[in-house]
Amino acid sequence: MRIALVAHDGCKASLLQWCLWNKKTLSRHDLIATGTTGAIIEQETGLSVERLLSGPKGGDQQVGAMIAVQHLDVLFFFWDPESPQPHDPDVKALLRLATLWNIPYACNVATADLIISSPLFGSDDYEPTKPEFCEREVELLDDGTVAIAE
């Protein structure tokens, strides 16, 4: 499985502890992480991590793009609900894409524990359904507006 690991500054320690606890399981998968989070996990756990840009510098969007092109299987994103984030729209977009594309994601330790301990996690027998999107007819009208046909 291809697993993304993302954490806001206030949650990096929690994600690191979670990764240490689950190191054996995580070592069997391809790990991708945003900049600083990936560096910390790699350094402290010895796990191999593909590092993207820092979240605020585009890393969250890179993870979102991986979801959109179906190159990601699960997202562990420990986000801090008590601290304002300058890149909050990117965070919301990432979570929206995970929901849209039916990617399991955890935003806290309890949910992450349930996902990683599921018998379906990493199972070759489980293939989550992917949404089917229909193409819509789009027409640019003379007044500059767009008409979308269902």
Q: Which two tokens stand for residue 14?
A: 């929690």
Q: Which of 60, 73, 125, 142 is catalytic?
A: 60
Helix (H, G, I), strand (E, B) or coil at 127: coil
Beta strands 137-140 and 146-149 are: antiparallel
Task: Look up 88 and say whether it is catalytic.
Answer: no
Which stretches within 69-108 are classed as H helix? 88-100
| Distances 69 to 20, 130, 140 between C-alpha atoms, Å | 29, 11, 27
**Which residues are known catalytic residues?**
60
